[in-house]
């Protein structure tokens, strides 16, 4: 194709000297472009995603559940699968910019889940935390498999303090055009209204909550009471393994059970409960910092995800048109070639704007990330660093408070 097309275009340029240079250049570009398209091989098959959850209604409790059902939950900052973003193949795209977006997103999405769990009115305290916490009854972790505005896929695991697995499942949802109304492109005159905003993938979070409720309701009242007792002794063992390790034992299936439970008025248990109260005050503060980040990030992230969805749809459309030989592979008209080249050129312009938008997204929320990592209660480093420092301080403080009573005995 290339060997026949180039001489033909060159000969035409000789007959028309006024447009010779421009015609040859355009002809060469189009010829090379179409030759590349004709010799390209189809893309590798895409990974089969998890089934979409569909339309889901959140199971909401109109009354407060029984005390033994009010489990405290820690939602840990999500992880990311490598290369879960399909980056535009363009020199203007800085992969580090998109990696930063992935890191920020991993702190944003857990808070959507946290808010969903609270809205259901089925649980005790629900907090977003930088890592698993020994003081809560149920821990939820997640890995973002795919997130491009068009689809969201997250691997979710949930396990309680006994080690019992509640969930190990991949959840996926597909957004529709109605999920991104024109009003979600925010401007100075069209401000973001969080009270009336519904996340495009809310069905996914509703399904996670409903699955957790189903698992909780499958456990008896005594099993839930024992679960909360194990949580208390797991935290006590975190503070002082030498003092409390013997209070826990492995039961059937390797699950933890309480072998001996100290009375609530026992001096050691009073100290444990005092430390746990201090710790919960701290992780409440951590959760508030993640809330501040969420509030700051939400309007920018909604806009970013809207444009990301547009980019994903554009990429899919371009792929289909490149590899549909009946449309372009056998085309010989100059007008058809010109239209194909124009589409390619505008796609590159769109990719550049998309990369610029990515940089703008990170710059917009940078102050919120800095605020998240500012000193909390005199600690320093990242939020995860501060969290680890705090747990170390509590263990040391507990040991200091126990020593005097030990000496007296």
Model pLDDT, residue 39: 44
Distance CA 260, CA 176 (A): 54
Same domain flag for 21 and 80: no
Does pLDDT of 12 surpass 90?
no
Neighbours of 349 (CB within 10 A): 11
Domain assignment of residue 350, yes or no: no
Spatial CB neighbours of 248, under 8 Å, sequence gap ≥ 6? 230, 233, 234, 237, 256, 257, 258, 259
Comparing CA positions, the residue from 136, 148, 313 lying closest to residue 234 is 136
Distance CA 393, CA 389 (A): 6
Same domain flag for 250 and 395: yes
Domain assignment of residue 172, yes or no: yes
Model pLDDT, residue 392: 78
Spatial CB neighbours of 29, under 8 Å, sequence gap ≥ 6? 341
Model pLDDT, residue 144: 95
Domain assignment of residue 362, yes or no: no
Mean pLDDT of 263-285: 85
Same domain flag for 112 and 22: no
Domain assignment of residue 315, yes or no: no
Does pLDDT of 197 surpass 70?
yes
Q: Kindly report, residue by residue over 308-365, the tens digit of the pLDDT.
A: 787 777 766 666 665 554 444 444 454 444 445 454 444 444 455 545 555 554 555 5
The two three-digit tokens of residue 318, written as one number: 């371009």
Residue 371 Cα to chain centre, angstroms: 20
Same domain flag for 388 and 248: yes
Spatial CB neighbours of 77, under 8 Å, sequence gap ≥ 6? 106, 107, 110, 128, 129, 130, 131
Does pLDDT of 206 surpass 50?
yes
Domain assignment of residue 48, yes or no: no
Neighbours of 188 (CB within 10 A): 5
Domain assignment of residue 107, yes or no: yes
**Which is more confident, 222 or 33?**
222
| Highest mean pLDDT of the ranges 76-90, 137-151, 189-203, 239-253 | 137-151
Q: What is the secondary structure of 186-217 as a DSSP string?
A: -BTTB---GGG---TTHHHHHHHHHHHHHHHH
Q: Report CA-CA distances (Å) from 289 to 79, 293, 394.
A: 19, 6, 21
Domain assignment of residue 247, yes or no: yes
Alpha helices in 218-266 (DSSP H): 221-239, 241-244
Distance CA 125, CA 208 (A): 17
Q: Report CA-CA distances (Å) from 70 to 12, 163, 279.
A: 81, 18, 19
Same domain flag for 212 and 119: yes
Does pLDDT of 31 surpass 50?
no
Same domain flag for 30 and 119: no
Same domain flag for 149 and 290: yes
Least confident of 69-73, 112-116, 158-162, 391-395: 391-395
Helix (H, G, I), strand (E, B) or coil at 163: coil
Same domain flag for 197 and 271: yes
User: Residue 35 is part of which domain span?
Assistant: 1-39
Domain assignment of residue 228, yes or no: yes
**Which is more confident, 267 or 5?**
267
* Number of helices followed by number of strands (H, E) in the chain: 9, 8
Alpha helices in 373-382 (DSSP H): none
Same domain flag for 148 and 13: no
The string over 301-340, giving b where at least 16 C-beta atoms fall within 10 Å of a residue's C-beta and e elsewhere, is bbbbbbbbbebbebbeeeeeebeeeeebeeeeeeeebeeb
Model pLDDT, residue 128: 95
Comparing CA positions, the residue from 120, 137, 115 lying closest to residue 68 is 137
Mean pLDDT of 364-380: 54
Model pLDDT, residue 379: 60
**Which is more confident, 96 or 277?**
277
Model pLDDT, residue 176: 87
Q: Kindly report, residue by residue over 52-108, the tens digit of the pLDDT.
A: 999 999 999 999 999 999 999 999 999 998 655 444 444 444 555 667 778 889 999
The two three-digit tokens of residue 317, written as one number: 């459309």
Q: Kindly report, residue by residue over 123-169, the tens digit of the pLDDT.
A: 999 999 999 999 999 999 999 999 988 899 999 999 999 999 999 99
Does pLDDT of 290 surpass 70?
yes
Distance CA 38, CA 53 (A): 39
Distance CA 43, CA 277 (A): 56
Same domain flag for 291 and 189: yes
Model pLDDT, residue 200: 93
Distance CA 101, CA 362 (A): 7
Same domain flag for 280 and 180: yes
What is the C-alpha R_g of the chain? 29
Model pLDDT, residue 373: 55
Model pLDDT, residue 309: 82
Query: Based on the structure, what is the number of domains in the chain?
Result: 2
Q: H or E segment at 76?
A: strand 73-76
Q: What is the mean pLDDT of the chain?
A: 75
The two three-digit tokens of residue 57, written as one number: 């209604």
Q: Which is it for the CA torsion 27, 32, 33, 39, positive or negative?
A: positive
Same domain flag for 243 and 114: yes
Distance CA 309, CA 316 (A): 11
Model pLDDT, residue 346: 46
């Amino acid at each position: 194709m290339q060997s026949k097309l180039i001489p033909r275009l060159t000969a035409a340029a000789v007959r028309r000297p006024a447009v010779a240079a421009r015609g040859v250049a355009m002809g060469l570009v189009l010829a090379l472009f179409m030759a590349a398209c004709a010799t390209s091989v189809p893309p590798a098959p895409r990974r089969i995603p998890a089934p979409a959850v569909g339309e889901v209604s959140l199971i909401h409790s109109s009354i407060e559940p029984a005390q033994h059902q009010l489990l405290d939950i820690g939602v840990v900052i999500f992880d990311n699968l490598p290369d879960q973003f399909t980056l535009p193949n363009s020199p203007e795209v800085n992969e580090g910019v998109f990696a930063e977006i992935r890191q920020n997103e991993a702190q944003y999405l857990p808070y959507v889940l946290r808010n969903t769990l609270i809205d259901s009115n089925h649980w005790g305290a629900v907090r977003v935390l930088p890592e698993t916490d020994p003081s809560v009854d149920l821990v939820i972790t997640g890995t973002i498999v795919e997130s491009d505005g068009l689809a969201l896929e997250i691997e979710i695991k949930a396990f309680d303090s006994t080690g019992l697995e509640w969930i190990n499942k991949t959840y996926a949802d597909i957004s529709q055009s109605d999920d991104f109304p024109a009003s979600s492109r925010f401007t100075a005159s069209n401000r973001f209204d969080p009270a009336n905003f519904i996340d495009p993938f809310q069905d996914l979070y509703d399904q996670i909550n409903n699955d957790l409720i189903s698992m909780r309701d499958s456990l008896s009242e005594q099993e839930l009471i024992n679960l909360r007792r194990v949580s208390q002794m797991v935290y006590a063992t975190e503070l002082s393994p030498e003092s409390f390790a013997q209070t826990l034992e492995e039961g059937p299936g390797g699950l933890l059970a309480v072998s001996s439970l100290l009375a609530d008025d026992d001096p050691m248990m009073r100290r444990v409960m005092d430390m746990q109260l201090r710790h919960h005050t701290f992780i409440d503060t951590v959760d508030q910092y993640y809330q501040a980040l969420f509030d700051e990030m939400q309007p920018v992230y909604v806009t970013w995800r809207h444009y990301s969805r547009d980019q994903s749809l554009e990429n899919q459309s371009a792929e289909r048109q490149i590899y549909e030989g009946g449309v372009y592979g056998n085309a010989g008209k100059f007008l058809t070639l010109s239209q194909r080249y124009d589409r390619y050129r505008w796609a590159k312009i769109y990719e550049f704007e998309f990369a610029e938008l990515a940089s703008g997204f990170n710059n917009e929320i940078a102050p919120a990330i800095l605020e998240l990592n500012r000193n909390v209660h005199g600690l320093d480093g990242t939020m995860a660093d501060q969290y680890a420092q705090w747990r170390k301080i509590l263990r040391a403080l507990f040991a200091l408070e126990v020593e005097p009573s030990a000496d007296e005995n």
